[in-house]
Amino acid sequence: ECIVYLGYINNRGYGRFWAKGKVYLAHRASYEFHKGKLTLGKFICHTCDNRKCINPDHLYEGSYQDNSRDRYK
């Protein structure tokens, strides 16, 4: 089940928030909080295809190609 971010949603459909003077994407912050630091150059993909979802069980690290392939499915 998705956990939908209820804060600000940017023009691309992703949750976004500010903390300590920096802007964060909610799904990336959720991934890093629950699963650890994101590998440089990697993307966070959603198995649920819901950009507002921050459920760490629905998030996985992937390449640009993984993200593009998943988006078009």
Bridge partner list, 4: 53
Burial level of 33, CB count in 10 A (0-12/13-18/19+)?
exposed
Looking at per-residue confidence, does 69 or 44 come out higher?
A: 44
For the entire predicted model, the pTM comes to: 0.88
For residue range 32-62, what is the model confidence (pLDDT) as tens digits? 999 999 999 999 999 998 999 999 999 999 9
Q: What is the distance between the alpha carbons of residues 45 and 39, in angstroms, rounded to a whole number?
A: 13
DSSP for 40-55, written as a single string: TT-EEEESS--TTB--
Q: With the CA atoms of 4, 60, 27 and 2 taken in that order, what torsion angle do they form, in degrees rounded to the nearest 10?
A: 0
